Structure 1
Amino acid sequence: MAHRRVGLIVPSSNVTVETELPEILRRQAGLDISFHSSRMRMTTVSPAGLAAMNVQRERCVIEIADAGPDVILYACLVALMAGERGEHHRVESLIAEQLATGDSPARIRSSAGALMEALAALSVRRVALVTPYMAPLARKVVDYIEHEGVTVADYRALEVEDNHAVGCIEGSRVMAAARELDLTGVDALVLSACVQMPSLSLIAQAEAEFGLPVISAATAGAFSILRALDVPAAVPGAGSLLESGTDFYDVAVRHKTSI
């Protein structure tokens, strides 16, 4: 069994992504994997805080490439979705160029791109979201997703700006926000549009309750990493997206017809 290394570029105050991603991917049968992080300083989820964080990207890419990862995840969704339209395409391309210049064979993914990849895999046209962000940032995320071709039917912003506090949001609060959403005609629910807001333990419960495919920034990131490693997803207990042998379109249709 070949050993695979995953590099993570994360905000300095993030802790959840380094908990949930390993938990997800270590459930994948036949995968020997380790995780290695580099950090960008950020404690406040605000436009100024995100802009100051993003300028640290090149340093982090150099640092994490030294660990010899097979794939690197730029693990902050709002950092890119709060930027220009299509920002994840631009940033992933810039990082790929930087890695190639340094003779690193690592593949690059981002949380923003992974979410769009997951929605495409599930044939999602209409989605609902729960975000921890302040309302203006949440609106930017909604606009970004819609520019990528997916309609956001409804969303909730929990308006938590302190990134340490985002990592402590209770599951009951996340589920309460999800229950407020109008899910009429929705193809999937994004229970946490943020790798720092915990939700992995809620995914299976939410799928059963809402009768929809339920994903998060973390499960989408895991899905994209597995694709980058050319490993078919076979992860139990983390939602339809990561189930073994899933026909994504059929899953989406089956859940919708059960509502």
Structure 2
Amino acid sequence: MSTPETACETVAVAKPDGLSRIGLIVPSSNTTMETELPELFRRQSEATGHRYTFHSARAGMKNVNKEELLAMVAKAADCASSVSDADVDTIAYACLVAVMAQGANAHVDSEAAIARAAQENGHPAAVTSSAGALVRTLQEMGARKVAMVTPYMKPLTQMVREYIEGAGIEVLEAVSLEVPDNLAVGRLDPQNLPEIARNLQREGADAIVLSACVQMPSLPAVQAVENELGLPVITAATATAYEILKSLGHTPAISNAGSLLSGELSKLPARVE
């Protein structure tokens, strides 16, 4: 049996009635991914007429520490099997730091394991992860230097920084908001992000990662920060949405969520080295 391919290698076939089903694997305490992604795809539907539904499986995780994150990883394959029962077209593993806690380039093995579980369950699907999506999207954008904001404690932020830098992207500054409780992360006010972004060390930056966490709300601030600072702004959630669209073969047409999802970045000329 061949090994299932990841979202960047496989194009899933949309349902014949103009409907795509999106599977999510999220931490049990996540309250943001199931609000921001449906809102993004609602805007995509407004622009294109295509419809999207979301179907979630939850893996236990309350506190954002390495022990609970690694325990969550062990549950990913079971979650993939259960969510694939909904005959989803694509699956997104929506916990960035759980994957990055496993070490450099861990998203490759995580995505392959999830794809394998779905295939063995009889419902193969394209697969992405928020960790892989963030790294690959930055690479596709040609971003060599970034500044980022995380809600994590400083040791976890440093781990995320090293993971991104291991992919060849320099992190000029990584701000830690130091919120260990995952429910509390979901209650952070995204309206505070513009001021935080203004104070980032961003000289020479090619992009800003406004939220390196799918649980930290950021969608209401993405376009405002991009407009103010004149740099592309992405988040773990918008990068994941971008890769979901790619896996479905759909062109991004999402308004008010940054140039990545509006489709504007794809119209820019290739950067000359």
Normalising by the smaller structure, the TM-score range is over 0.9
Moved more, 129-138 or 95-104: 95-104
Question: 4+ runs of 1 displaced by more than 3 Å?
Answer: 248-253
The reply to whether residue 7 of structure 1 matches residue 23 of structure 2 is yes
Per-residue CA distance 1:205-247 (angstroms, 9 max, x = gap): 1011111000111111110000000001111111010113543
Deviation at 1:250, TM superposition (A): 4.3
Say whether residues 1:119 and 2:138 are aligned partners. yes
Give 1:248 shift: 5.7
Following superposition, the deviation at residue 94 of structure 1 comes to 1.4
Q: 1:1-259 counterparts in 2 under 5 A?
A: 1-28=17-44, 29-244=48-263, 246-247=265-266, 249-250=268-269
The CA distance in 2 between the partners of 1:127 and 1:248, in whole Å, is: 21
> Which AA in structure 1 matches 2:104?
R
Query: What is the CA-CA distance between 1:82 and the residue it aligns to?
Result: 1.6
* CA-CA distance at 1:127 after TM superposition: 0.7
Summarize deviations over 1:7-54 as a string: whole Å, max 9, x none.
Answer: 000000101100000100111122211000000011100011111211
Q: Which runs of 5+ in 2 are unaligned?
A: 1-16
Per the TM alignment, residue 62 of structure 1 is displaced from its structure 2 partner at its CA by 1.2
- Structure 1 portions without partners, runs of 5+: 254-259
2:218 partner letter: S
CA contact (8 A) 2:191 2:220 kept: no
**Length-normalised TM-score, structure 1:** 0.93
Q: Percent identity among equivalent residues?
A: 47
Task: Identify the range of structure 1 (166-175 vs 179-188) with the bigger mean alpha-carbon deviation.
Answer: 166-175
Cα-Cα RMSD: 1.6
Aligned partner of residue 58 in structure 1, secondary structure: helix
Q: Secondary structure at the match of 2:43?
A: coil
Q: TM-score, normalised on structure 2?
A: 0.89
Distance, in Å, in 2 between the alignment partners of 1:17 and 1:222 is 10
Mapped to 2, the partners of 1:178 and 1:93 lie a distance apart of 34
Contact 1:121 1:248 in 2 (8 A): no
Letter of the 1:170 counterpart: D
- Within 1, Cα distance between the matches of 2:68 and 2:182? 10
Structure 1 residue 116: deviation in Å? 1.3
